[in-house]
Amino acid sequence: MNAVEPTDTRRRRRRRRRERPGPPRGLLLLPHLLTTAGLGFGFFAIVTAFSGKHDLAAAAICFAILFDVLDGRVARLAKSSSKFGGEYDSIADTVSFAVAPAMLAVSAGNLQVLGRAGWVMAFLYTACAALRLARFNVSPSRYRGRFEGLPSPAAAGVIASTQLFVSFLRDRGLGIDVPEFLIAGATAVLGLMMVSAIPYRSFKELDLRHSFVTLVFVVFAVALVVRGRAVSLFCIGVVYTAHVPAEWLWRQKSGRTLEKIIPPVPSESPQG
């Protein structure tokens, strides 16, 4: 027979558990506030896109991407990650990275002239982005350090940076007229890339403290963005989006496969 724990011992243990210091409440709420800020920028991008302020909408999407990066980092640093936070983040991302970029493409690309086809192409992007976010929540990647399909913030960044790049060219007298069907097709292709099985780098495991080469690369990229935001963001988005499928095809032909994540083997329940 097991000895019964004295009442005083149980009381002291509960008292120590209550007195154990935890993260401040404000720090626990900070990731949710950052997620809400990103959601606000996504909503603002939708409103300004249909108000004809396309550059402002593109900038709002870029800020939404920034806050999406920050909320996850802060949650991990504060050790306040939760299932609620993950679900809330996905809902906010659906607005900022699924709906807002599609609305910007419709308005800035003048897809209304294509009639139903233009709306269908834009909706395809939105649906694929929503599916991509849902798949990310329930299905981990097959490869270490990789995402399954183009991340939705990256796809949204491509649309936003393209708008900023086109405005940059027009301000310097290099205006270009892109056919509406080409814009609609590119938007649909971005959507399909999000639900593809192509493994994209996640960059979540970047070690800036112990890798000098990685640190130099990040500093160089930040300097490029600060020096010329429109051109740099556009080039970074295009290179990131295009080079991974090329690398994937090269790996398929050369036989150099990526490191796969081995799922844990479920333990057998003891026989009664």
pLDDT at 246 (0 to 100)? 75
pLDDT at 103 (0 to 100)? 96
> In the chain, what are the domain boundaries?
29-254
pLDDT digit string, tens, across residues 85-109 = 888 999 999 999 999 999 999 999 9
Superfamily of domain 29-254: CDP-alcohol phosphotransferase transmembrane (TM) domain (1.20.120.1760)
Consecutive sets of 10 residues in the chain, 272 residues long: mean pLDDT of each?
A: 55 57 62 92 95 93 91 77 84 95 94 92 96 84 75 92 88 80 94 88 57 51 58 78 75 66 49 43
pLDDT at 140 (0 to 100)? 66
pLDDT at 222 (0 to 100)? 59
- Name the strand (E) or helix (H) holding 148: strand 146-148
C-alpha span between 35 and 70 (Å, rounded)? 9
CA 191 to chain centre: 14
pLDDT at 171 (0 to 100)? 82
- 143 forms beta bridges with 260
- Nearest-CA neighbor of 240 among 187, 197, 190, 195? 190
Q: How far apart are the first and last CA of the chain?
A: 23
